[in-house]
Amino acid sequence: MEKSEREKWQDIQDILMRVYCSDDQEHKRVVLSYNEGVSPEARRLHEEAIVIDGCTGWLHRANWITDAAGVTAINLTIPAVFDNDPGNALRETIHMHEIVHRSPDKMMLIHTVEDIYTAKRTGKTGIIYAAQHPDFLLHRNLDASLEVYQRIGLRVLQIAYNNRSFAADGSRTYSDDGMTSQGRGLIRAMESAGVTVDLSHVGSKSCVEAMDMCTKPMVYSHSNPRSLFPHPRNITDEQIRLCARAGGVIGVAGYPEIMWDGQMLPSVERYVDIMCYIVDMVGIDHVGIGTDLPAEAGAHDRQEAWDIGEGYTGKDSPNPHGSPYKYTYEAGWGIETIDIRGLNSLANIPNLIEHMLRRGFSREDVRKVMGLNFLRVFQQTWK
Amino acid sequence: MREQEKWQALQEILLRSRCTDDAEFKDVVLAYNEGVSREARRLHEEAIVIDCCTAGLENANWMTEASGVTAMSVTVPDVYNPNAGAAIRNLANIHWVVHRSPDKMMLVDAVEDIITAKKQGKTGIIRSAQHVDFMLHRDLEGAVEVFQRAGFRIIALACDERSFAADGCLAGTDGGLTRQGKALIRAMEANGVTVDLSRVGERSFFDALSICSKPVVCSNSNPRALFPHPANLTDDQMRACIRVGGVICLTANPALLWDGKQLPTIDRYLDAIEHTAGTVGIDAVAIGTGLPAQPGGWERHGALSLFTGSGGREYPGPQGAPYLSMFDAGWGVEAAGVKGMGSIACFPYLTHCLTARGFSEDDIKKMLGNNLLRVFRETWR
């Protein structure tokens, strides 16, 4: 007898908990098996290239995922920035130092572009302090506030998440309002303190207004084209063009729900399609990667894992085609149900490079997309 | 007048002199500087002057101008709160001070910045905390790294009350340094933050010094031998402090300059300085006034609790509080502070009085700033 919808979602949630909240051995085997097909040429390129992931989260220490990923620097999104209590955010900031204390030979904090080169040279993974909502640093004097957070390491700040912030509208508020006057103050303060403006997750109107006032390049750390995948979280072609015109970079997001058009299930090939779409529109200099994948198996916050499957990404997805999880589940993907096939994990970065080469990206172009484009923006926006 | 009425009158004096920019108070305070000799003025202008304990700074003002202070350690409010959010917002407020007065104020992150402040005639702002609970975290080393990056350079292990690290001098328990307190000291020394042991309970004080490998400061304390108050330091404490090369910053707090007999005037403050220099040597003496750096800048709620709470009437100490006697002596608007050193604006007058006591120019320069400069050089990075 076929399972009911409810039972299917229960199964999906079980898989999600296994993949996000435990170091599941079956998942690990599947992930690593995709890297077995990586050619020596792709491997060499991976070893040489500066790889910067525009968006990851959930990291406690060096682990098999960061080892296999070989990423030079990750934008590590700190949790607890959604309320307006800086205390919680500060605890998470201290936690970043804890990661380095636990893995001093493999991890380091990134404060300058020079540090990224050092990470590459010493074979470490650099941690860039990034936040996906600004409410924790709200202060009557945003210049002073940004100075303090820049000192403690903040380098990339998204001006709103799905929900509305004091600065801008989120992409899932369905109100599409503009930037507040405090939001304008925030952008000025970020640019002068040396913090990169990130517009992923931000509502379209706020994004356009923000880009209009930015005097430096901005990033969409993890967003996909809405014309391919009609999800409110994704960005319009106009946003992509404005970002490129300002010298910015769009990090292609490796999140199944926002790379789902109701037809082709999420795969590494599809991920490369998105890169090609943006390259064709604005050129190779404005594309990066923002995998949005966990940096450690089992490190995900459990409550948030429940929220994802049972809530906004799973059952309640605003994607007009529904959540891809249901379809991957029905297609029998098993432990890969919540994954992008071939880019199941950050550990599959070598396989992503393999697929870019297969698609005809030159070595130089791979280097740009995998890291040099973000590096350029950091050079122009950090102090 | 009944005693109750006197306390009410004192409360009004405190509000006028601390919570408003009172014209009479300003006149009285600045009048002391009129008597400063030309020689003392030259000396004061040449010296690097560091006040290791001030509070409430909002912008360049007549007090900071008149004080001629090169660098002041400004204590960040709300560091008692185990939620660091309050501390970090208040730290941002201190950045705001520089935004308001960019020509006259600058942040001090390194010893070199103090030299720059002197050269450019600016007031340097050192950020400090008089309690540690805002830093409590499983990884104290990470916490200290973060707050050092944020700008904190001097942190007291506890102040009056108990912290997670140490007992305060008014906790009444005389508890020792905790395991977390030890880890904290190690992290502070490793990360370039000066350990402040003022107002820490005695046992915690000695415990802390037994593991310190770098100099410490006592940012606002006086000799207990002269003024028997638990917030003051015994001669033994002072001697232990200099064994690690530390300095004792004498404070212009009337309650800590009170022996139950002579009123707290600048003369008594000089006595405190002289006693300390005599006990542990001139190289261990510095200044930490404990005074507000902003006219009218004292938060009203705090001021209102002072003379009805722990700061005034109920302030512990064998002699009780000096304020009634100061009031009875007819000190008027000066009855809330040390006569002659009721404001940081009186700093030039302090230099004048030091010369009058016969201290040499070199010794005065050491006490005004060079001794602290040495400690900062050895503890910051």
ipTM comes to: 0.81
Instruction: Tell me the mean pLDDT in the region A202-212.
Output: 97
Instruction: Tell me the mean pLDDT in the region A233-238.
Output: 97
Tokens found for residue A342: 């071939």
CA neighbor of A199 nearest in space, from A182, A215, A214: A214
Q: What is the pLDDT of residue B310?
A: 54
A128: three-class secondary structure by DSSP: strand
Contacts 24+ apart (CB under 8 A), B179-184: B180/B136, B180/B140, B181/B157, B181/B207, B181/B208, B182/B211, B183/B140, B183/B141, B184/B132, B184/B135, B184/B140, B184/B144, B184/B157
Of A91, A141, A148, the CB nearest to B150: A148
CB-CB under 8 Å, A144 with B84? no
pLDDT at B312 over 70: no
Average pLDDT, chain A: 95
A93-150 pLDDT, tens digit per residue, is 999 999 999 999 999 999 999 999 999 999 999 999 999 999 999 999 999 999 999 9
CB pairs below 8 Å between A and B: how many? Answer: 78
Interface of B with A (CB under 8 A): 83-86, 88-89, 91-96, 99, 137-139, 141-143, 145-147, 149-151
B231-253 pLDDT, tens digit per residue, is 999 999 999 999 999 999 999 99
Place of tokens 């010369």: B355
pLDDT at B311 over 70: no
**Among A339-343, B110-114, B253-257, B374-378, which stretch is predicted with the lowest mean pLDDT?**
B253-257
Task: Name every residue whose Cβ is closer than 8 Å to that of residue A122 and which is 6 or more positions away in sequence.
Answer: A108
Of A89, A91, A148, the CB nearest to B92: A148
Q: What is the pLDDT of residue A192?
A: 97
CA neighbor of B340 nearest in space, from B36, B3, B14: B36
A56 touching B (Cβ < 8 Å): no
Quick one: pLDDT band at residue B111, thresholds 50, 70, 90?
Answer: very high
CB-CB under 8 Å, A153 with B139? no
CB-CB under 8 Å, A95 with B92? no
CB-CB under 8 Å, B139 with A152? no
Optimal mutation site among B78, B88, B105, B193, interface A, most CBs of chain A within 10 A = B88
Helical ranges in B255-358 per DSSP H? 266-280, 300-306, 323-328, 347-356
Nearest CA in chain B to A139: B89
Q: Write the single-letter amino acid at A70.
A: G
Of A85, A96, A148, the CB nearest to B91: A148
Q: How far is B201 from chain A (nearest CA, A)?
A: 28
Residues of B in contact with A383 (CB under 8 A): none
Quick one: pLDDT band at residue B316, thresholds 50, 70, 90?
Answer: low
Strand partners, B125: B72, B107
Of A89, A136, A144, the CB nearest to B93: A144
Element (H, E) at B53: strand B50-55
State the Cα–Cα distance between residues B218 and B233, nearest whole angstrom: 9
pLDDT at A247 over 70: yes
Cβ–Cβ under 8 Å, residues A286 and A243: yes
Nearest CA in chain B to A143: B96
CB-CB under 8 Å, A86 with B142? no
Quick one: pLDDT band at residue B306, thresholds 50, 70, 90?
Answer: confident
State the Cα–Cα distance between residues B151 and B98, nearest whole angstrom: 14
B186-204 pLDDT, tens digit per residue, is 999 999 999 999 999 999 9
CB-CB under 8 Å, B139 with A101? yes
Residues of A in contact with B92 (CB under 8 A): 139, 141, 144-145, 147-148
Cβ–Cβ under 8 Å, residues B104 and B123: yes
Residues 67-106 of A with CB under 8 A from B: 85-91, 93-98, 101
Q: How far is B70 from chain A (nearest CA, A)?
A: 22
Q: What is the pLDDT of residue A281?
A: 98
- End-to-end CA distance of chain A: give it in Å, rounded: 62
State the Cα–Cα distance between residues A270 and A252, nearest whole angstrom: 11
Of B91, B145, B151, the CB nearest to A97: B145
pLDDT at B313 over 80: no
Residues of A in contact with B138 (CB under 8 A): 98
pLDDT at A265 over 90: yes
CB-CB under 8 Å, A148 with B88? yes
Q: What is the pLDDT of residue B184?
A: 98
Cβ–Cβ under 8 Å, residues B308 and B316: no
Task: Name every residue whose Cβ is closer than 8 Å to that of residue A291 and which is 6 or more positions away in sequence.
Answer: A53, A54, A55, A56, A222, A253, A254, A343, A346
CB-CB under 8 Å, A144 with B92? yes
CB-CB under 8 Å, B88 with A86? yes
DSSP state letter for A200: T
Burial B177-203 (b: 16+ CB within 10 A, else e): bbebbbbbbbbbbebbbbbbbbbbbbe
Residues of A in contact with B83 (CB under 8 A): 85, 87
pLDDT at B341 over 90: yes
Task: From residue A274, give the alpha-carbon distance in Å to each of A252, A349, B203.
Answer: 7, 16, 66
CB-CB under 8 Å, B150 with A98? no
Tokens found for residue A323: 């959540």
Residues of B in contact with A145 (CB under 8 A): 89, 92, 95
Q: What is the pLDDT of residue B314?
A: 58
